[in-house]
Structure 1
């Protein structure tokens, strides 16, 4: 299991990937940032309010969870946890 990938929830809908990456870089090197957007609604430019961060090391990922989980970022208290593998769909 890769413990360098983090789930980041309760994001402001206005947050940009660059802003989120910069926030996590205060903890350690960020390899990849992805905010998930609503692809099914008529408002395809709106974030779903969550995303994923990949840190360069497991140590940095743990530190990010400890330091940033529950902290305020752009007006919302964000949730930071180890990302779970994507569930397989049965259809």
Structure 2
């Protein structure tokens, strides 16, 4: 999955959301396909264990804060692919 590795852009946590409570059957493509309706995705990553199985959480980074907030408001607590619900929260970074 494409990821923007510019450290200056990555420091702005307000465009990043953390998704937890993902069903282990949800793959990278399903996670990514859920979020384009809210805005441009700069990166999307499903956390995997050493055997490449889902850890049940992931991250999505949008190009702006409004897109991230809209995704959180509309998807928080919803079902994804008719399996367990998930929780979206803004990722906060403290330096």
Whichever structure has more helix as a proportion of its residues is 2
Partners of 1:48 and 1:64 in 2: CA distance:
21
Q: Who is 1:62 aligned against?
A: 69
The CA distance in 2 between the partners of 1:76 and 1:3, in whole Å, is 26
Taking the aligned partners of 1:67 and 1:7, their CA distance within structure 2 comes to: 14
RMSD: 1.5
Following superposition, the deviation at residue 85 of structure 1 comes to 3.7
Any conservation in 1 of the 2:22–2:57 contact (CA below 8 Å)?
A: yes
Q: After TM superposition, what 4+ stretches of structure 1 lie above 4 angstroms from structure 2?
A: none
Greater Cα offset, 50-59 or 8-17:
8-17
* Unpaired runs of at least 5, structure 2: 1-11
Structure 2 matches for 1:1-80, cutoff 5 A?
1-39=12-50, 44-74=51-81, 75-80=83-88
Deviation per residue, 1:24-78 (Å, 9 max, x gap)? 1122111101111112xxxx12110000000111000000110001011021111
Gaps of 5+ in 1: 87-91
Using structure 1 for the length normalisation, give the TM-score.
0.81
TM-score by length of 2: 0.78
